[in-house]
Amino acid sequence: MMAGGDLILTVLAARLSADIQSQVDALIVQFGLQEKSTQRLADASLQQNKCIDCIEYRLVGEVDIEAVRNAALVLSETLSVDIVVQANTRDHVQPRLVCFDMDSTLIKAEVIDELARRHGVGMKSLKSPSAPCAASWILRQAFGSG
């Protein structure tokens, strides 16, 4: 599918090194895209105890968006970062919902462990042979179906 007009390329990593940024820049050049703007959405160096960098590139050009996405997927696997390429069709509408798999990906903790602590179950309960039952109970309590 050819995309004409604006694209948004978002890069998310624990730390965006100069090497990662140069390889993303090379991807942009490879497809003949022009950079309209770049916005840093998160900066690990400015956040206390947080390790996440995120840059959004606003790009313009006539490209096969699937080819750009496939190249971005290969690059993201090579660099161990997340790269998302999307057509800019949101017309400056603020996103209303964002979902992430948080366990040890974007945070340094396991969500099930945090839920256990919050609900007073404790880590010893999760290490027992009935850990799957405890985990299921915690999730039911957390989401109000228990």
Task: List Cβ neighbours of 17 (8 Å cut-off, separation of 6 or more).
Answer: none
pLDDT at 74: 96
pLDDT band of residue 6 (cuts 50, 70, 90) is: confident
CATH number at residue 55: 3.30.70.260
Same domain, 81 and 131: no
pLDDT at 91: 60
36-52 confidence digits (pLDDT tens) = 999 988 776 655 556 67
Tell me the residue ranges of DSSP E strands in the chain. Answer: 2-3, 6-13, 34-42, 53-60, 63-64, 82-87
Same domain, 68 and 125: no
pLDDT at 53: 86
Among residues 65, 87, 109, the one where a domain terminates is 87
3-state secondary structure of 134: helix
C-alpha 134/C-alpha 98 separation (Å) is 27
pLDDT top residue among 131 and 58: 58
For Cα atoms 120, 122, 126, give the angle at the middle one, nearest 5 degrees.
130
User: pTM for the full model?
Assistant: 0.60
Structure tokens at 113: 């462990």
C-alpha 146/C-alpha 140 separation (Å) is 5
Instruction: Kindly report which listed range (8-17, 44-53, 77-86, 94-103) carries the lowest average pLDDT score.
Output: 94-103
Same domain, 83 and 110: no
Provide the residue range defining the domain that includes 73: 2-87
